[in-house]
Amino acid sequence: QKEVEQNSGPLSVPEGAIASLNCTYSDRGSQSFFWYRQYSGKSPELIMSIYSNGDKEDGRFTAQLNKASQYVSLLIRDSQPSDSATYLCAVKDNAGNMLTFGGGTRLMVKP
């Protein structure tokens, strides 16, 4: 069974700090990796996708992928209170379109 693991948190960081969110996955055949943000009572919204080993930066967000270690992370620089949400890691294999979601990490950014 394919598994995606995240620390449920809450992860609490002060405003302006770097928030580091981590995710591990079990299926070595996984090819595509996504980070979604979900505010309470809302549906997930895509933050970033990453497909190759290394770092991918988009504004304040950096996704990091290490396929050998089956590890993907999301860094949020200059964290803002508005970043407070649950962050979902999702993994897709090359067999189809199905995403497997982690349980999510709740991030709290304190002013």
What is the smallest separation between the CB atom of 103 and other proteins, expressed in angstroms? Answer: 5
What is the smallest separation between the CB atom of 104 and other proteins, expressed in angstroms? Answer: 5
Q: Does 37 bind other proteins (CB under 8 A)?
A: no
What is the smallest separation between the CB atom of 16 and other proteins, expressed in angstroms? Answer: 28
Q: Does 2 bind other proteins (CB under 8 A)?
A: no
| Interface pattern 46-85 for other proteins (x via CB under 8 A) | x--x-x----------------------------------
Q: Could you tell me the two tokens for 59?
A: 């504004």
3-state SS, residue 55: strand
Query: Interior CA angle at 73 toward 81 and 39, to 5°?
Result: 35
Strands (E) in 15-96, as ranges, are 19-25, 30-38, 45-50, 54-58, 61-66, 71-76, 85-93
Task: Give the dihedral sign, CA 89/68/26/98.
Answer: positive
- Name the site residues for other proteins (rule: CB under 8 A): 32, 34, 36, 41-46, 49, 51, 88, 92, 96-99, 101-104
